[in-house]
Structure 1
């Protein structure tokens, strides 16, 4: 496990809201899975909220939903998934959330530098010259 300078979240730190007949085991599973993902973030996770829902409509192919919102050091990271069961939706949600957290960690510095260069707030790269107009 990667150690970070910030405190890791526990399962109790993950807020879970439910709608419909969501079993307690699904709530606990969502808390554990999301807390485990936050332990591997390079930045502190300030807030987490998961919404789990089940619609009792037999006509729906995927009646269970799972949504997550994480505040990763001021940036909101969101994911949504639907499944046949709540546990299936949670599994899909954690996979999607892992991809988004990896993307945020990998692209944040590059994206930030590019935006500042476009605004002319960052010194030009080695070699001198003016920032590109545009």
Structure 2
């Protein structure tokens, strides 16, 4: 069974949690088309600055994919700066497995994660992606730390 790391921001994490929905831009069609019902998705909220506070990157939940990919351009997701009027029209329905009480800090995991081969420039493994497949070992590691 494939495991995925889904990369989002704080605003869209709220939408995912409220609507049990994941969406990506058209340019990520080839990736999302590989996702199947039953796959597991870890939600990764990227580092953001809120006034003077930096919120570190973290994994906040795990979901199971509950539908095939479908198209819906209704505006439920917030378009991040620099992405114009993006609606993330390629979507899948989600079934929550666990929303972590305490998010899993991402940076301490980097040395142990197999999918991150360049530990010094780790963000390059996530940059420009909406989601990426990760090995089962990495999924298990993250779940072992999650509360």
Structure-2-length-normalised TM-score: 0.23
Structure with more of its chain in strand, by fraction? 2
Structure-1-length-normalised TM-score: 0.25
Structure with more of its chain in helix, by fraction? 1
> Which structure is higher in RCO with an 8 Å CA cutoff and minimum separation 6?
2
